[in-house]
Amino acid sequence: MRFFEDEVFLHSFEYYDPTHGVSLKGRTRIITLELSKLEEIVEKPEEELNFQEHWAVFFKCLTDRKDNS
């Protein structure tokens, strides 16, 4: 299942009160990590992964039951 139709695996949302025009200025946020979009990234050599990709692969392996044997 995909939350968003793009191919981006990481989205970050910040809270904002539109009625009063107040933002939490990044002090709290919702981060979505779509593991189903990591097929190509998990095939990359480790030295080519950026910081976000490293964490994404970690969570992918952590939640993939086949890799936890």
16-64 confidence digits (pLDDT tens): 999 999 999 888 989 999 988 998 898 899 999 999 999 999 988 887 7
Domain-located, residue 1: no
What is the C-alpha to C-alpha distance for residues 7 and 46, in angstroms, rounded to an integer?
A: 21
Contact between residue 9 and residue 56 where contact means Cβ atoms under 8 Å apart: yes
Model pTM greater than 0.75?
no
pLDDT tens figures, 29-40: 899 999 889 988
| Structural domain of 15 | 10-68
Domain-located, residue 3: no
Q: Looking at 1-69, list the stretches that DSSP marks H as alpha helix, in order from N- to C-terminal side.
A: 51-63
Domain-located, residue 36: yes
Domain-located, residue 20: yes
Domain-located, residue 51: yes
Number of domains in the chain: 1
Domain-located, residue 21: yes
